[in-house]
Chains A and B, each alone.
Chain A
Amino acid sequence: MNHGRTRFVTGFLSIPVALYLIYVIAPYAQAFYIALTDWRGVTATPRFVGLENFRRLLDDDVFWRAVGHNLLLLVLMPLLTVTIALFFAFLLNAGGRGGTGGVWGSKFYRVVFFFPQVLAVAVVAVLFQQVFRPDRSGMLNAPLMALGFEPIGFLSDTGVALWAILGVLVWQAVGFYVVLFSAGIASIPRDLFEAAAIDGAGGAQLFLRITLPLLWDTIQVGWVYLGIAAMDVFAVVWVMTAEQGGPDHSTTVMAAEVYRTAFGYFKFGYASAMGVVLFFFTIGFAALALRLSRRERIEF
């Protein structure tokens, strides 16, 4: 049985490990080193500048605006998405037939709600760029103008654009979490709902006292996923907004600044420093989220 075992293990692991080391591990390891250099991609040996890039980052207003936008999205995108998705998941699974069964047509709703999730983010961004057009030809501005209001520059007004982006992100994400939470609710024993309903619990109580606590683990997973997605936002901003993060840097995010700095200005050292900061933000968020939301696991 052990014949050729070592050869088999080595043979099966060598290609995947090699690909992974070359394309994932090596670039990440290099990024941490390049962040300490002034490399612009042309010289063979980059000059070591220590923490100079990070010192410059401290004075980089555009970068900090990007960080601020990411933090805003980090708070609001999971909050809105989880709230809306929980609401719908609860309605779908416990809203019908007196609070215990699935609502009529719940399968149809689940299929439709999930659909934005299978569309490419870049495609969604172009689609909403058209939806948000600032004149009568925009889906949202047409009725506004028909009612005699001024059209809203969803993507051209510096005070509005980031909210438009938040809206698109939530629009795309909700369906997935409806399905995820539905699966969680479906695994809660129905006697719990029935017993509570017989004891006179209303919809709100069923939700707050039974669904929410028993779904906590799933919500936590969803929260971390959405938080990481909020730190990684790129395509929606890059494709949808004017000046790719504009107008006037009002929608830019960290990933867009990393990309622009590296492939627009060829400042690879400086861009890597931004990437390192982004890396620690993401890791920090994940650790914090898991720590804060840790609770006793409820077995059922």
Chain B
Amino acid sequence: MAEAVIPRSRAQVRQERRRALGPFAALTHLALLAWTVLVVVPIVWTFLASVKSEDEIFGDAWSLPAVLRFDSWGRAWEQAHIGQYMINSVIVVACGTFGTMLFGSMAAYVLARYSFFGNRAVYLLFVSGLAFPVYLALGPLFFVVQNMGTLPVVGPFIGLGTHGGLVLVYIAYSLPFTVFFLAAFFRTLPGAVAEAAFVDGASHARVFFQIMLPMAKPGIVSVTIFNVLGQWNQYQLPLVLLNSDRQKWVLTQGIAEISTAAGYDADWSALFAALSMAILPMLVVYTIFQSQIQKGLTAGALK
């Protein structure tokens, strides 16, 4: 009904605005499309190069492949071990993120909702980790992990060149942000439901796992996305801690190695295929979850 009353003034306003912003609005799409091209073209070009022959790759960069050859994908997967590296990445990131979320949310919950001597100190200790550049500690970290490998019983699983060792390091280095973000989140949750559960005789652990954790789901999802991406994209920690055993390498290491060690007789189409294989799953997962990923990462940055 209100629509009917003011159509003229609205149209007027709109017209005035259009007059003020005419050329500006016209250039908007041009600028946006230009950046779209900048983002999309290198990626599409990589996919095209992966189905080109060696000769075509060394020819003009903008030529299209005459026929689609997918044999390079097979070579990259098998001979360049991209399949193995990808499986390794999935294992390490799955365990790393799970551990990070479990231990991170436990610590954040206790620090956010229980007062005890030293609470503030422990919280600040975690949060101070946000400011440390990882390079400062690379050398000592290498020897810490090496020493862990000499422990009885567990040593062989968490030393240098093991996925277990890398997972523990990922967890430890993901804790500052996870604790920082989730503690802020747990503080905002209402206490009434938890108190009711305590009255009914629930234990502290039960209240955490069955009441508080489900209530914190939006925060948990954001931080999980943040950690999955961070750990999947990690390069220098595996470079330092997994260097010895190629079988254990993760995807980013494998891709970088094919490129740097390639030399003149390199299998270029296999390199492009390997790149495509690293890009494709991220493209698919991102397209499916893009709104959560964008929200999760920006929420992370603003906290």
Name A residues whose Cβ lies closer than 8 Å to a Cβ of B: 1, 4-6, 8-9, 11-13, 15-17, 19-20, 22-28, 30-31, 34, 41, 84, 87-88, 91-92, 95-100, 103-105, 109-123, 125-131, 133, 135-139, 141-143, 146, 171, 174-176, 179-180, 183, 194, 197-198, 200-204, 218, 221-222, 225, 228, 231-232, 234-235, 238-239, 244, 254-255, 258-259, 262-263, 268, 271-272, 275-276, 278-279, 282-283, 286
Known contacts A22-B144, A23-B169, A127 near B42 by CB under 8 Å: yes
Contact of B275 among A20, A103, A105, A123 (CB under 8 A): A123
List 20 additional contacts besides A127-B42, A235-B256; criterion CB under 8 Å. A16-B104, A23-B145, A23-B173, A25-B125, A28-B136, A31-B137, A91-B31, A98-B25, A112-B39, A114-B290, A115-B43, A116-B39, A123-B252, A123-B275, A142-B62, A180-B302, A203-B20, A203-B25, A259-B240, A283-B131
Could you say which of A119, A183, A200 contacts B298, with CB atoms under 8 Å apart?
Answer: A183
Chain A positions within 8 Å of B148 at CB level: 22
CB distance from B222 to the nearest CB of A (A): 13
Q: Kindly count the residue-residue contacts between A and B in the assembled complex, taking CB atoms under 8 Å apart.
A: 323
Main secondary structure of the interface of B (DSSP, over half): helix
Once bound together, how far apart are the Cα atoms of A116 and B32, in whole Å? 16
> Which residues from A are CB-within-8-Å of B70?
none
B255 within 8 A of A: yes
Residues of B within 8 Å of A133, CB to CB, are 61
Q: Could you name 19 residue pairs across A and B whose Cβ atoms are closer than 8 Å?
A: A8-B203, A12-B208, A19-B172, A20-B172, A31-B137, A87-B31, A121-B235, A123-B252, A138-B61, A171-B38, A180-B301, A194-B13, A198-B17, A201-B20, A225-B301, A232-B134, A262-B138, A263-B142, A271-B139
The contact of B116 among A9, A111, A126, by CB within 8 Å, is: A9
Residues A123 and B255 in contact, CB atoms below 8 Å apart: yes
CB-based contact A126/B259 at 8 Å: yes
Does B273 touch A at the CB level, under 8 Å?
Answer: no
User: Could you say which of B72-80, B213-221, B279-287 contacts chain A?
Assistant: B279-287
The answer on a CB contact under 8 Å between A139 and B173 is no
Minimum distance in angstroms from A179 CB to a CB of chain B: 5
Per a CB cutoff under 8 Å, which of B18, B46, B232 touches A127? B46
In this assembly, does B264 line the interface, its C-beta being within 8 Å of a C-beta of chain A? no
What residue in chain B is nearest A106 (Cβ atoms)? Answer: B32
Q: Say yes or no: B139 contacts A142, CB within 8 Å.
A: no
The 6 closest A-B pairs by CB, nearest first: A98-B17, A23-B172, A275-B136, A27-B137, A142-B61, A27-B140
- Does residue B242 face the partner (Cβ distance < 8 Å to A)? no
Contact between B45 and A12 (Cβ–Cβ < 8 Å)?
Answer: no
Q: Of the candidates A12, A222, A254, which one forms a contact with B110 in the assembled complex, judged by CB atoms under 8 Å apart?
A: A12
Contact, CB under 8 Å: B198 / A1: yes
Find the residue from B25, B104, B145 having the highest chain A CB count within 10 A: B25
Contact A16 B135 (CB under 8 A): no
Contact A278 B139 (CB under 8 A): no
Q: In the complex the two chains form, is B57's CB within 8 Å of A111's CB?
A: no
Docked CA distance A114–B229 (Å): 13
Partner of B139, one of A9, A97, A262, A279: A262
Q: Which of B28, B132, B234, B282 contacts A103 (CB 8 A)?
A: B28
Measured CA separation A169–B59 after assembly (Å): 28
Partner of A26, one of B24, B131, B140: B140
Give the CA-CA distance A125 to B251 in the complex, in Å.
Answer: 14
